[in-house]
Amino acid sequence: MFEGLRTPTELVVIVVTLLSYGCPVQAIVHVYHLDERTVASWRDRAGVHCQRIHEELVETESLDLVHVQADEIRGKATSWCPG
């Protein structure tokens, strides 16, 4: 996630945390004087990193689950049509 970045790790962690809580990219760009493409790149890198961890820890492990919440179930839908 942090490999090759020239920005302090602390700032990247703050930005990704704000994004994860729904803070708009434009607000982060304004407050931290960052380029919008930089913030988007960090967001995308964090997403790829999280996806890899999910695949490694959740999808490949044999988990003995008694209760699973609906938002924790990975589903695949080909299409959705209301009504």
Domain limits, the chain: 11-63
Q: How far apart are CA 5 and CA 46, in angstroms?
A: 12
What's the confidence (pLDDT) of residue 17? Answer: 96
Q: What is the pLDDT of residues 38-56, one digit of tens each?
A: 999 999 999 999 899 888 8
CA distance 27 to 43: 14
Whether residue 1 contacts residue 46, with contact meaning beta carbons closer than 8 Å, is answered with yes
pLDDT at position 82 over 70? no
Measured CA to CA, the distance from residue 72 to residue 68 in angstroms comes to 6
Closest C-alpha to 15, from 5, 65, 83, 27: 27
pLDDT at position 75 is 56
